[in-house]
A = this chain, B = another copy of it.
Amino acid sequence: MSKDQMATKIKIAEAAVELFTCQGYQGTSVRQIAKKAGVNLALVSYHFGGKKGLLEELVSSFYEGYIRKIEVVYHTSADQPEKERLLEVIESVLNYQLRQPHLSRFVHREMTLDSTLVREVMTTYLAKEKYYYDSIFEKGMKQKEFHKQPVMLLTLQLRNLIIMPFLHPLYISEVFYTAPHDPLFVTSYMSFIHKWLEQSVCVPQRKGSLLSAVQNPLFATIQEKWNG
């Protein structure tokens, strides 16, 4: 594909994301997409084979990149503690979505429908995503770095935390005072996730935090002795 053709393809994709997001997929016509992109109607069919093909390519290219981000961290960080791996995966996927917030939100919304496309995405991409998260949690538990608890529950919570700011940015910003459009979003949200891991996932490492979690006078006495 020539440079010009690629530029046209990108223009069409961007116009489609904007229109789908505002008017919904059903409420948008190929004519409107071509008009917004400033290209001839025939070029939409040429590049994407029509509206359905455009939707499929948007969704699958989003998930290709998304899973790639997880895979890269997963395979390059295998010798690190599982908590660090998890933090790296999360930060990478948050940044990936942050670079394309409209597409991210559109895809996550689309995933709440029942359709053949959604079922395909489930069995290819979302099952892979689940596999990586499950593996990290399982390994962390095996190595006693994480508390024993249902992996399913942790993976579900992790995934919710990762997609929520992009699926419901307004909710997050009006009710939780942080949102993807804030310049410090990733930093503040990561500290949020860090607390979740420390509190709910990891076995406490330091003496202080280990003992403070235990509400028992006998332990308080031991702590006093240890701390001199």
Contacts and interface: CB of A to CB of B under 8 A. Distances in A.
Contacts of A152: 176, 192
Contact of A213 (B27, B119, B147, B169): B147
A112 B105 contact: yes
Contact of A176 (B105, B156, B164): B156
B195 A149 contact: yes
A119 B164 contact: no
B199 A200 contact: yes
Contacts of A2: none
A127 interface: yes
**Complex copy number for this chain:** 2
A122 B26 contact: no
Interface in A12-66: 23-27
Given A105-B112, A213-B213, A174 B24 contact: no
A91 B20 CA distance: 35
Interface in A174-198: 174-176, 192, 195-196
A119 B168 CA distance: 12
A215 interface: yes
A210 B213 CA distance: 9
27 contacts: A24-B26, A24-B27, A25-B27, A26-B26, A27-B27, A108-B112, A109-B109, A111-B168, A111-B171, A112-B168, A119-B170, A122-B171, A123-B174, A126-B174, A130-B175, A144-B215, A149-B195, A150-B195, A153-B196, A156-B161, A156-B164, A156-B176, A160-B161, A200-B200, A210-B216, A213-B213, A218-B222
* A-B pairs, 7 with minimum CB distance: A26-B27, A200-B200, A24-B24, A160-B160, A24-B26, A27-B27, A122-B174
